[in-house]
């Protein structure tokens, strides 16, 4: 009986030890699984973080490119507006027109004013150049705008408030041949001036430089119309 009891105690002890070992092993296994899961999640989060950072960097780069593109577009638009408003120096192909008073002797009884250059002569030349597609025009380096005045002041001509005497040089940017043809058409302004001996010399140029308008804009009565032309 004693032997049987000892065997039972031994079996019970071994069972307890085995149970403890199983529980311990299970806990260690669970801990390892949880640790692996945590590591895997950390790895996944790291990958997601890198992807988010890459997307952010790409978006920031795209935003910067859009800003630069917008800035470049604005600069180009401003340059175009400046050119159209005659507020910047320009150059291009075109013609230069030298106009000199007549050297023909005045006959008795003739009006001497017929042999000198007048504002209306310059205006006719300017109008023909504009009709020929001139994109910029200057008289004695005075850039013409919509409100530029060209008028006689005795033997001189006033342009943009500046007074000049003959000879006069008119420069125009555009297609040289077209501008030349506009001035030299039969019965045109050049033919009319040559009849009185006024000398007109036209040169087609590969590059004409015309300065910006430096006068004052008159804006006493004009103002923006916010209604878009509707009353």
The predicted model gives 139-165 an average pLDDT of 89
Same domain, 68 and 132: no
| Domain annotation covers residue 45 | yes
**pLDDT score of 91 more than 90:** yes
pLDDT band at 8 (very low <50, low <70, confident <90, very high): low
The model's pLDDT over 185-227, given as tens digits with 9 standing for 90+, comes to: 998 999 999 988 899 999 999 999 999 988 776 666 667 776 6
Q: Which of 59, 84, 109 is where one domain is finished? A: 84
Same domain, 141 and 166: yes
Any idea what the CATH number is for the domain that residue 106 is in? 3.30.70.1880
| Domain annotation covers residue 131 | yes
The model's pLDDT over 14-65, given as tens digits with 9 standing for 90+, comes to: 566 655 565 566 555 555 555 555 556 556 556 665 765 676 667 667 767 7
Same domain, 123 and 199: yes
User: Which residue has better confidence, 128 or 1?
Assistant: 128
199-210 β-sheet, strand order: 142-143, 136-139, 168-173, 90-100, 199-210
pTM for the whole structure:
0.64
**Burial of 140 from C-beta contacts in 10 A (0-12 / 13-18 / 19+):** middle
């Amino acid at each position: 009986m004693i032997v049987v009891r000892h065997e039972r105690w031994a079996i019970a002890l071994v069972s307890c030890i085995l149970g403890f070992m199983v529980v311990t092993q299970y806990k260690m296994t669970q801990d390892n699984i949880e640790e692996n899961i945590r590591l895997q999640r950390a790895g996944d989060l790291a990958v997601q973080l890198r992807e988010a950072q890459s997307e952010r960097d790409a978006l920031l780069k795209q935003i910067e490119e859009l800003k630069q593109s917008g800035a470049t577009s604005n600069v180009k638009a401003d340059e175009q507006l400046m050119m159209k408003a005659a507020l910047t120096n320009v150059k291009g192909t075109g013609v230069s027109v030298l106009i000199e008073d007549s050297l023909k002797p005045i006959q008795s009884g003739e009006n001497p004013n017929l042999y000198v250059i007048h504002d209306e002569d310059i205006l006719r030349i300017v109008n023909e150049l504009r009709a020929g597609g001139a994109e910029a025009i200057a008289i004695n380096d005075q850039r013409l705008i919509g409100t530029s005045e060209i008028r006689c002041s005795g033997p001189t001509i006033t342009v943009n408030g500046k007074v000049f005497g003959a000879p006069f040089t008119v420069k125009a940017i555009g297609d040289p041949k077209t501008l030349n043809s506009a001035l030299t058409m039969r019965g045109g302004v050049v033919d009319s001036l040559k009849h009185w001996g006024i000398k007109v010399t036209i040169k087609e140029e590969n590059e004409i430089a015309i300065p910006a308008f430096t006068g004052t804009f008159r804006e006493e009565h004009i103002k923006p119309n916010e209604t878009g032309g509707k009353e």
